[in-house]
Amino acid sequence: MPRLFGNQSLPADTLKADKKACRKIGPLGMGRRALYLNSFYISRMYYVVWTDIKRVYKLVAMSKGGFTGIGAFGSMSYLVVELRDGRTKRCQIKYEHQTDEALAWIAEHHPEIPTQSEAAGKKLEEAKKAEQARYKKDLTVEEKNRLRILEEAGEYLEKKPALYRNLSWSAGKMRAQQMVSPQKRILGICIMAGAVLLLAVGIALTVSRHPAGIYMIMFGGVFLLFSLSGNLVPIGKNSPKRIKEEWDAAVAESEAYISRRDDFPVPARYAHPIVLRRMARVIREGRADSIPQALEVVKQDLKALNKSVTVSQQEYDEVVAVKPLFLVSDYR
């Protein structure tokens, strides 16, 4: 049974039923009565009743590399839960898109709970005003028509969000594999081989009742988990071939969906609402005279982002979601 984090507890039978029926998003759980949080190793280990929560938001620790072409998206994502009594809990989430999906679910089902930190909310409002100040005051009929096309395309994609989320997730996996150097991959393979050797020796010693056997099994298990969780060993779900197949399948699904509409404004590999919104911004700012040109400007904007550039939380969320699409496609 999950442990209580908060002030309001649930009866054991209610808690058991609520956890069983909860919407699972990575290591998190979205129940009708409570939010289920993970520890470092165990999914849905804690629970907090929704009425105990003051706000929930994402915190990102960016690693060296930032938005460069070689180290993009080396970040660590956390879901931070603030209680009404002032306590907070920070949950590390391996895949950032799961944090975003959880926050989107909370925003939809519990609109009374803010999904941004207080400071981020103020900065977002300031950034929104600054963005609107860059817009053209009077749009032409042609510009309004281009914006309508982009808006309708975005609404069409939102009817099947799983498609563009899978596209973004698959591209992120591809990019993560591309940034693993041969030296790191060799290191991961060596660690895994050593772990397997430790496990084999530990099992043999345990069978012969040697006291050191259990310790060798423990260390072997730790090193094995480390090598697998670090995405360094090209086997199973981390196989480059399998990751490429997943990306190709995501693009094919996107292509099949957008082909139902005539003259969709972007290729299937870029069919993401954020890409369309960024193109609309470019047109509102008067930086493009056509939809294809707006896409090219978006590409240039994304290329310009590197580790020396400071961006807002909104900009960061957008770039993390769509820049892998352009990187793995080589901005074609």
Per-residue pLDDT of the chain (332 residues; tens, 9 = 90+): 899 998 999 999 999 999 999 999 999 999 999 999 999 889 999 999 999 999 999 987 654 444 443 333 456 789 999 999 999 999 999 888 899 899 999 999 999 999 988 777 777 777 777 777 888 888 999 999 999 999 999 999 999 999 999 999 899 888 877 777 677 777 777 888 888 888 898 898 888 888 888 888 988 888 877 776 666 667 767 778 888 999 999 999 999 999 999 889 999 999 999 999 999 999 999 999 999 999 999 999 999 887 666 666 678 778 888 999 999 999 98
What HEC string does 80-122 produce? EEEECCCCEEEEEECCHHHHHHHHHHHHHHCCCCCCCCHHHHH
Contact 46, 35 (CB under 8 A): no
Q: Where are the beta strands (DSSP E) in the chain?
A: 3-4, 23-25, 28-30, 34-37, 46-49, 53-62, 75-83, 88-93
Cβ atoms 60, 76 nearer than 8 A: yes
What are the residue ranges spanned by the domains of the chain?
3-104, 131-179+238-328, 182-230
Give the model's pLDDT for residue 136.
86
Domain 3-104 fold: PH-domain like (2.30.29)
Q: What's the pLDDT at 220?
A: 85
Are the C-beta atoms of residues 281 and 127 closer than 8 Å to each other? no
pTM comes to: 0.65
Provide the b/e sequence for 113-122 (b: ≥16 CB within 10 Å).
Answer: bbbbbeebee
